[in-house]
Each structure stands twice: as structure tokens, then as C-alpha cells.
Structure 1
């Protein structure tokens, strides 16, 4: 059963979340929410273990199946371990003084027994890595 399946079941059982005061209904809603959170955490742990990571927590801005790494070197390590399709896109990153353009690199990989996941980082020119396999995959894709 996927996280979405659990959400649908919880919605069907509990109905839409409202400002309920009925303790029995609140208990059902809370149980459904706890089941959804547990399923999400379990999926996140499976994904991270499959990627070879020790931490199983979902960080801010991530989901169970969409994770971030710090650099193209870390992304390359994941790419060499699990493969996948590499894509790039230009995005705008916000910061307190405004916004700046960044090149986001994404690996979309299928993990056995889990499904499709995405691993993302922004290109950092100062870190180098034009010759990394993950970067060559981008060049191959463009050709």
C-alpha cells in the first residue's frame, strides 16, 4: 500500500479535515494522520537506505521520494550506484536579497521494490566536476 493509498483510505474513513470537536471523530482523524506519517517515514527510510545513506529522515523541502544532495559530486556517487536518467533545468532560487538563476540537476531512478525517485542538486561551478559520469550523461542526452 502506498502513501497515497493510505491517504485516500484515511480521507474515506475520516472525511475532510474540519474543525471537529467530537473526540471519536478526532481520534479517527488522528489515527489516519499517524498512519500516513508512518507510511511516509517508512518509505523515506527505504529510499535513503537504497541510495546508500545512513540518515533516514526527510529534510525540509524533501519528500519521501524526492531528495536533495549538496553537490554534483554527491549526486554523481548516487548516479554511479543506482543509475537513472539525468536532466537539467534552469530555476530561480530565492534568498533574502532577491533571487538568482541556478542550474538544477536531477536524477530520476527506479529503485527495485520502491518505485521512481528523484535526487536533485544545483550545479556549483566552483566545485568542478565537468568530467563526472553524471555530467557526461547530460552531455550525452543533449547530443
Structure 2
């Protein structure tokens, strides 16, 4: 549920001498909910098209992802997409705070243009213990840094 679907306007309906409180949906909220449903449907359809174009079997966008921004589990998973569809690889330093401790991590982003659909970014954080310095994805990063 989201804030819009939770929004209701209370109307006091007085019938005789006993007041009754009835919760009726606000007509404007109902209209927005229908529009929101259509937008969600369009987003889900775009997400399914994007995932199919990237070679994924599952065509449901995961929680936290969008049709144009997808989080990957590891550099190996991201590399598999890179090897299949190519794209532009970039890195950036990201900062995370957890229980008062701040860490700096390297985020790897693969940007893929899917003609007629969308420009999609797939990202993961580099996890050193997994290794993978010899992955084609990492070679692309090295070439970018050397240029």
C-alpha cells in the first residue's frame, strides 16, 4: 500500500438524532488511484521488456529496482550482462554509514541503451573477496581509466 491508497476523507453523515461516521473514498483519490494503477502497469510492462532484452529469465522487477535502474548481486552477475549486451562501464565511490561507522565502496555501473525502450543502468558494489579482476567488465573499467 502507498500513501495515496491509504488516504481517505471522513464524512460525517447525520441520520436522525444519531450521528454516524462513515469513511468514504475521496473521489479525487479514486481517480488518482486508477491513474496510478495504469502507471504501475506501464512500468511493469516496460520492466518486463527491459529484463527480457537483457537476457533475464525472470521478468518481474525486484523490490527497490525500477525499469531503468537495476541492482545486481555481484560483479560476476553484472559481468554476465556486460558480456551479453555490452554497454558503457563506469565506477564511482559511494559512502555508506552503518551504526556510526562510515565506509567507502566502489560502485560499478553498466549503462545499456535499449533502442526503442529505455536507457538502463545496472549497478553493483565491488566486493574484493569475490575477486574477478580478470573479468571483461573490469578490463573495460581499466581501459576507461587509461583513456
TM-score of the two chains, using structure 2 as the length reference: 0.77
1:141 to 129, 140, 144: 144
Corresponding pairs, count? 127
Give the corresponding residue for 1:59: 62
CA distance in 2 between partners of 1:107 and 1:94 (Å)? 24
Looking at CA atoms only, which structure, 1 or 2, has the larger radius of gyration?
2
- Select the structure that is richer in strand: 2
CA distance in 2 between partners of 1:39 and 1:72 (Å)? 30
Give the corresponding residue for 2:29: 26
1:112 aligns with 2:115: yes
| Structure 1: gaps (5+ residues) | 1-18
Give the corresponding residue for 1:122: 125
Change (3 A) 1:97 1:49: farther
TM-score of the two chains, using structure 1 as the length reference: 0.79
| Structure 2: gaps (5+ residues) | 1-6, 10-24
Give the corresponding residue for 1:36: 39
- Say which SS state the counterpart of residue 61 (structure 1) adopts: coil
